[in-house]
Amino acid sequence: MVKPLPFLKDMMEAGYAMAVTQAIYFVVSFVVLYLLGRIFVIPVVKRLLDRQGYDESVKIPLTKVTQFAVLFAAVGIAFALADYGNILTALATIAAAATLAVGFALQDIIANFVAGVFIFTDKPFKIGDWIEWDGDSYSGIVEDIDLRVTRIRTFDNELLTVPNSVLTDGVIKNPVAKDKLRVQFLFGIGYDDDIHRATEIILEEARKHDEILDDPEPSVRLTELGDSSVGLKSRFWISDPKRSDFVKTRGEYVTAVKERFDAEGIDIPYPYRNLAGGIEISNPSELAVLSED
Protein backbone atom coordinates (compact mmCIF):
# COMPACT_ATOMS: atom_id res chain seq x y z
CA MET A 1 0.00 0.00 0.00
CA VAL A 2 1.25 3.47 -0.85
CA LYS A 3 2.23 5.59 2.15
CA PRO A 4 2.68 9.38 2.17
CA LEU A 5 6.24 10.45 1.52
CA PRO A 6 7.84 11.62 4.80
CA PHE A 7 8.82 15.09 3.60
CA LEU A 8 5.32 15.69 2.26
CA LYS A 9 3.75 14.48 5.50
CA ASP A 10 5.68 17.06 7.44
CA MET A 11 4.70 19.86 5.05
CA MET A 12 0.96 19.28 4.76
CA GLU A 13 -1.94 17.39 6.22
CA ALA A 14 -2.03 13.60 5.90
CA GLY A 15 -4.88 13.57 3.36
CA TYR A 16 -3.21 16.02 1.00
CA ALA A 17 0.16 14.33 1.45
CA MET A 18 -1.38 11.00 0.44
CA ALA A 19 -3.00 12.45 -2.66
CA VAL A 20 0.22 14.16 -3.79
CA THR A 21 2.21 10.98 -3.09
CA GLN A 22 -0.15 8.91 -5.24
CA ALA A 23 0.10 11.44 -8.06
CA ILE A 24 3.91 11.35 -7.91
CA TYR A 25 3.89 7.53 -7.92
CA PHE A 26 1.54 7.52 -10.90
CA VAL A 27 3.49 10.07 -12.98
CA VAL A 28 6.92 8.57 -12.27
CA SER A 29 5.70 5.00 -12.84
CA PHE A 30 3.94 5.96 -16.08
CA VAL A 31 6.94 7.83 -17.51
CA VAL A 32 9.38 5.03 -16.64
CA LEU A 33 7.14 2.25 -17.97
CA TYR A 34 6.23 4.13 -21.14
CA LEU A 35 9.87 4.95 -21.91
CA LEU A 36 10.88 1.31 -21.30
CA GLY A 37 8.15 0.19 -23.70
CA ARG A 38 9.25 2.69 -26.36
CA ILE A 39 12.90 1.71 -25.95
CA PHE A 40 12.56 -2.07 -25.78
CA VAL A 41 9.11 -3.38 -26.78
CA ILE A 42 8.41 -1.35 -29.94
CA PRO A 43 11.85 -1.95 -31.56
CA VAL A 44 11.48 -5.70 -30.86
CA VAL A 45 8.07 -5.73 -32.58
CA LYS A 46 9.50 -3.81 -35.56
CA ARG A 47 12.36 -6.30 -35.91
CA LEU A 48 9.92 -9.22 -35.79
CA LEU A 49 7.79 -7.64 -38.52
CA ASP A 50 10.89 -6.99 -40.66
CA ARG A 51 12.00 -10.58 -40.15
CA GLN A 52 8.63 -11.84 -41.35
CA GLY A 53 8.96 -9.76 -44.51
CA TYR A 54 5.81 -7.69 -44.09
CA ASP A 55 5.44 -4.58 -46.26
CA GLU A 56 4.81 -1.05 -44.98
CA SER A 57 1.02 -1.34 -45.26
CA VAL A 58 1.17 -4.09 -42.60
CA LYS A 59 4.02 -2.82 -40.44
CA ILE A 60 2.68 0.71 -39.91
CA PRO A 61 -0.76 -0.30 -38.48
CA LEU A 62 0.77 -3.04 -36.29
CA THR A 63 3.39 -0.63 -34.97
CA LYS A 64 0.66 1.86 -34.08
CA VAL A 65 -1.31 -0.88 -32.30
CA THR A 66 1.85 -1.80 -30.35
CA GLN A 67 2.37 1.85 -29.37
CA PHE A 68 -1.20 2.02 -28.11
CA ALA A 69 -0.73 -1.23 -26.17
CA VAL A 70 2.43 0.13 -24.53
CA LEU A 71 0.59 3.32 -23.58
CA PHE A 72 -2.36 1.36 -22.19
CA ALA A 73 -0.10 -0.99 -20.21
CA ALA A 74 1.91 1.92 -18.79
CA VAL A 75 -1.26 3.67 -17.62
CA GLY A 76 -2.69 0.46 -16.14
CA ILE A 77 0.44 -0.55 -14.22
CA ALA A 78 1.08 3.01 -13.02
CA PHE A 79 -2.55 3.19 -11.90
CA ALA A 80 -2.07 0.07 -9.80
CA LEU A 81 1.32 1.15 -8.38
CA ALA A 82 -0.19 4.46 -7.27
CA ASP A 83 -2.86 2.49 -5.38
CA TYR A 84 -5.73 4.17 -7.21
CA GLY A 85 -7.75 0.96 -7.10
CA ASN A 86 -8.92 -1.40 -9.83
CA ILE A 87 -8.08 0.14 -13.17
CA LEU A 88 -10.55 -2.08 -15.01
CA THR A 89 -13.41 -0.72 -12.94
CA ALA A 90 -12.23 2.83 -13.47
CA LEU A 91 -11.81 2.36 -17.20
CA ALA A 92 -15.26 0.77 -17.45
CA THR A 93 -16.76 3.82 -15.77
CA ILE A 94 -14.85 6.16 -18.07
CA ALA A 95 -15.84 4.14 -21.14
CA ALA A 96 -19.52 4.24 -20.16
CA ALA A 97 -19.38 8.00 -19.71
CA ALA A 98 -17.54 8.44 -22.99
CA THR A 99 -20.11 6.31 -24.81
CA LEU A 100 -22.92 8.51 -23.56
CA ALA A 101 -20.96 11.64 -24.48
CA VAL A 102 -19.98 10.76 -28.04
CA GLY A 103 -23.26 9.01 -28.90
CA PHE A 104 -23.72 8.46 -32.60
CA ALA A 105 -20.22 9.69 -33.43
CA LEU A 106 -18.82 6.53 -31.90
CA GLN A 107 -20.59 4.45 -34.56
CA ASP A 108 -18.53 6.07 -37.32
CA ILE A 109 -15.31 5.58 -35.36
CA ILE A 110 -16.06 1.89 -34.83
CA ALA A 111 -17.10 1.43 -38.47
CA ASN A 112 -13.85 2.98 -39.70
CA PHE A 113 -11.82 0.93 -37.22
CA VAL A 114 -13.46 -2.33 -38.34
CA ALA A 115 -12.96 -1.31 -41.98
CA GLY A 116 -9.29 -0.67 -41.22
CA VAL A 117 -9.00 -4.19 -39.82
CA PHE A 118 -10.55 -5.58 -43.04
CA ILE A 119 -8.11 -3.58 -45.16
CA PHE A 120 -5.28 -4.93 -43.03
CA THR A 121 -6.43 -8.57 -43.33
CA ASP A 122 -7.83 -8.65 -46.88
CA LYS A 123 -5.05 -6.46 -48.38
CA PRO A 124 -7.02 -5.01 -51.32
CA PHE A 125 -4.14 -2.54 -51.69
CA LYS A 126 -0.87 -1.59 -50.01
CA ILE A 127 1.22 1.54 -49.59
CA GLY A 128 2.54 2.66 -52.97
CA ASP A 129 -0.37 1.20 -54.98
CA TRP A 130 -2.36 3.24 -57.47
CA ILE A 131 -6.08 2.81 -56.70
CA GLU A 132 -9.38 4.19 -57.99
CA TRP A 133 -12.74 4.23 -56.19
CA ASP A 134 -16.22 5.76 -56.16
CA GLY A 135 -16.87 4.86 -59.79
CA ASP A 136 -13.36 6.05 -60.78
CA SER A 137 -14.24 9.54 -59.54
CA TYR A 138 -11.15 9.49 -57.32
CA SER A 139 -7.71 8.01 -57.87
CA GLY A 140 -4.22 8.32 -56.46
CA ILE A 141 -1.26 6.65 -54.78
CA VAL A 142 -1.70 5.18 -51.29
CA GLU A 143 0.69 6.95 -48.88
CA ASP A 144 -0.48 5.70 -45.49
CA ILE A 145 -2.95 3.17 -44.08
CA ASP A 146 -4.22 3.86 -40.56
CA LEU A 147 -6.78 1.98 -38.50
CA ARG A 148 -9.26 4.82 -39.07
CA VAL A 149 -8.33 6.51 -42.36
CA THR A 150 -6.25 5.95 -45.49
CA ARG A 151 -4.21 8.82 -46.93
CA ILE A 152 -3.96 9.00 -50.72
CA ARG A 153 -1.94 11.40 -52.86
CA THR A 154 -3.76 12.33 -56.08
CA PHE A 155 -1.98 12.87 -59.37
CA ASP A 156 -2.54 16.62 -58.91
CA ASN A 157 -0.46 16.34 -55.69
CA GLU A 158 -3.49 16.72 -53.43
CA LEU A 159 -3.68 14.70 -50.21
CA LEU A 160 -6.98 12.90 -49.64
CA THR A 161 -7.78 11.58 -46.16
CA VAL A 162 -10.39 8.90 -46.78
CA PRO A 163 -12.32 7.13 -43.98
CA ASN A 164 -11.68 3.41 -44.25
CA SER A 165 -15.40 2.63 -44.32
CA VAL A 166 -15.71 4.61 -47.57
CA LEU A 167 -13.16 2.34 -49.22
CA THR A 168 -14.60 -0.94 -47.92
CA ASP A 169 -18.25 -0.08 -48.66
CA GLY A 170 -17.66 0.36 -52.40
CA VAL A 171 -15.66 -1.10 -55.27
CA ILE A 172 -11.92 -0.38 -55.25
CA LYS A 173 -9.99 -0.70 -58.49
CA ASN A 174 -6.33 -1.63 -58.05
CA PRO A 175 -4.75 -1.62 -61.52
CA VAL A 176 -1.31 -2.55 -60.16
CA ALA A 177 -2.32 -5.48 -57.96
CA LYS A 178 -1.14 -7.99 -60.57
CA ASP A 179 2.04 -8.29 -62.61
CA LYS A 180 0.34 -7.27 -65.87
CA LEU A 181 -2.15 -4.61 -66.88
CA ARG A 182 -4.25 -4.56 -70.05
CA VAL A 183 -4.58 -1.14 -71.65
CA GLN A 184 -7.28 -0.20 -74.17
CA PHE A 185 -7.52 2.68 -76.59
CA LEU A 186 -10.19 3.43 -79.20
CA PHE A 187 -8.92 4.76 -82.53
CA GLY A 188 -11.47 6.33 -84.86
CA ILE A 189 -10.94 6.25 -88.64
CA GLY A 190 -13.05 7.55 -91.52
CA TYR A 191 -15.67 5.44 -93.26
CA ASP A 192 -13.70 5.70 -96.52
CA ASP A 193 -10.42 4.52 -94.97
CA ASP A 194 -9.01 0.99 -95.27
CA ILE A 195 -9.96 -0.85 -92.06
CA HIS A 196 -7.49 -3.67 -92.65
CA ARG A 197 -4.55 -1.33 -93.24
CA ALA A 198 -5.44 0.74 -90.17
CA THR A 199 -5.57 -2.47 -88.12
CA GLU A 200 -2.12 -3.50 -89.39
CA ILE A 201 -0.64 -0.13 -88.45
CA ILE A 202 -2.10 -0.26 -84.94
CA LEU A 203 -0.67 -3.76 -84.39
CA GLU A 204 2.72 -2.90 -85.93
CA GLU A 205 3.20 0.08 -83.63
CA ALA A 206 2.22 -2.01 -80.61
CA ARG A 207 4.82 -4.66 -81.50
CA LYS A 208 7.50 -2.01 -81.97
CA HIS A 209 7.09 -0.51 -78.49
CA ASP A 210 9.52 -1.96 -75.95
CA GLU A 211 7.12 -1.67 -73.01
CA ILE A 212 4.23 -3.48 -74.71
CA LEU A 213 4.27 -7.25 -74.20
CA ASP A 214 4.31 -9.76 -77.05
CA ASP A 215 2.57 -12.32 -74.84
CA PRO A 216 -0.34 -11.78 -74.46
CA GLU A 217 -0.15 -10.34 -77.93
CA PRO A 218 -1.81 -7.04 -78.89
CA SER A 219 -5.20 -7.19 -80.59
CA VAL A 220 -7.53 -4.88 -82.50
CA ARG A 221 -11.30 -5.22 -82.86
CA LEU A 222 -13.86 -3.15 -84.71
CA THR A 223 -16.19 -2.18 -81.88
CA GLU A 224 -18.02 0.91 -83.03
CA LEU A 225 -19.77 2.42 -86.06
CA GLY A 226 -20.18 6.02 -85.01
CA ASP A 227 -21.86 8.96 -86.71
CA SER A 228 -18.62 10.12 -88.30
CA SER A 229 -16.03 7.41 -87.60
CA VAL A 230 -15.32 3.69 -87.40
CA GLY A 231 -13.99 2.67 -83.97
CA LEU A 232 -11.04 0.28 -83.78
CA LYS A 233 -10.26 -0.70 -80.19
CA SER A 234 -6.66 -1.63 -79.51
CA ARG A 235 -5.86 -3.87 -76.53
CA PHE A 236 -2.33 -4.45 -75.30
CA TRP A 237 -0.52 -5.46 -72.10
CA ILE A 238 2.25 -3.89 -70.03
CA SER A 239 4.23 -5.59 -67.25
CA ASP A 240 4.89 -4.42 -63.67
CA PRO A 241 2.46 -1.53 -64.14
CA LYS A 242 2.74 1.81 -62.40
CA ARG A 243 0.67 4.90 -63.04
CA SER A 244 3.61 6.73 -64.62
CA ASP A 245 4.46 3.74 -66.83
CA PHE A 246 0.84 3.39 -67.90
CA VAL A 247 0.49 7.04 -68.95
CA LYS A 248 3.91 7.17 -70.65
CA THR A 249 3.48 3.93 -72.61
CA ARG A 250 -0.04 4.73 -73.76
CA GLY A 251 0.94 8.26 -74.79
CA GLU A 252 3.95 7.12 -76.81
CA TYR A 253 1.96 4.36 -78.48
CA VAL A 254 -1.00 6.59 -79.46
CA THR A 255 1.41 9.22 -80.80
CA ALA A 256 3.20 6.64 -82.96
CA VAL A 257 -0.10 5.36 -84.40
CA LYS A 258 -1.28 8.91 -85.14
CA GLU A 259 1.95 9.70 -86.98
CA ARG A 260 1.62 6.50 -89.06
CA PHE A 261 -1.99 7.33 -89.90
CA ASP A 262 -0.95 10.80 -91.05
CA ALA A 263 1.89 9.40 -93.15
CA GLU A 264 -0.36 6.87 -94.89
CA GLY A 265 -3.35 9.15 -95.37
CA ILE A 266 -5.67 7.50 -92.87
CA ASP A 267 -8.04 10.07 -91.45
CA ILE A 268 -8.98 10.44 -87.78
CA PRO A 269 -12.26 12.33 -88.19
CA TYR A 270 -13.84 14.50 -85.55
CA PRO A 271 -17.58 14.92 -84.98
CA TYR A 272 -19.19 17.73 -86.98
CA ARG A 273 -22.68 19.09 -87.34
CA ASN A 274 -24.46 20.61 -90.33
CA LEU A 275 -27.49 22.86 -90.11
CA ALA A 276 -30.07 22.25 -92.85
CA GLY A 277 -33.21 24.36 -92.70
CA GLY A 278 -32.74 24.95 -88.97
CA ILE A 279 -32.36 21.18 -88.29
CA GLU A 280 -29.15 20.01 -86.68
CA ILE A 281 -27.44 17.21 -88.64
CA SER A 282 -24.63 15.07 -87.21
CA ASN A 283 -24.50 12.47 -90.01
CA PRO A 284 -24.14 13.37 -93.71
CA SER A 285 -26.56 10.57 -94.64
CA GLU A 286 -29.30 12.44 -92.77
CA LEU A 287 -28.70 15.47 -95.00
CA ALA A 288 -29.21 13.28 -98.09
CA VAL A 289 -32.52 12.02 -96.77
CA LEU A 290 -33.68 15.55 -96.09
CA SER A 291 -32.66 16.61 -99.61
CA GLU A 292 -34.79 13.84 -101.13
CA ASP A 293 -37.78 15.01 -99.07
Residue 132 sits in a domain of what CATH number? 2.30.30.60
Q: 210 lies in which domain range?
A: 180-263
Residue 70: its pLDDT value, please? 84
Residue 152 lies in a domain: yes
Residues 188 and 243 in one domain: yes
Give the pLDDT of the chain (293 residues) as one tens digit per residue: 555 555 555 555 555 656 666 777 788 888 898 898 888 888 888 888 788 776 676 677 777 778 888 887 888 787 777 776 655 555 555 556 555 555 555 567 778 778 888 888 888 888 888 899 988 788 999 998 888 889 999 988 899 999 988 988 888 888 888 888 899 999 999 998 999 999 999 999 999 998 999 989 999 999 988 888 899 999 999 987 777 778 889 999 999 999 999 999 998 887 665 555 544 544 444 444 434 44
Residue 94: its pLDDT value, please? 52
Residue 170: its pLDDT value, please? 84
Residues 191 and 214 in one domain: yes
Residues 256 and 201 in one domain: yes
Total number of domains constituting the chain: 3
Q: Which of 154, 157, 133 is nearest to 142 (CA)?
A: 154
Residues 86 and 18 in one domain: yes
Q: Which of 173, 193, 210 is the last residue of a domain?
A: 173
Residues 15 and 96 in one domain: yes
Residue 292: its pLDDT value, please? 43
Separation between Cα atoms, residue 151 and residue 143, nearest integer Å: 6
Residue 283 lies in a domain: no
Q: Are 264 and 220 in contact (CB under 8 A)?
A: no
List of residues 6+ apart from 256 with CB closer than 8 A: 205, 208, 209
Give pTM, 2 decimals.
Answer: 0.55
Q: What is the CATH number of the domain that holds 240?
A: 3.30.70.100
Residues 86 and 146 in one domain: no
Residues 188 and 169 in one domain: no
Residues 76 and 131 in one domain: no
Residue 6: its pLDDT value, please? 58
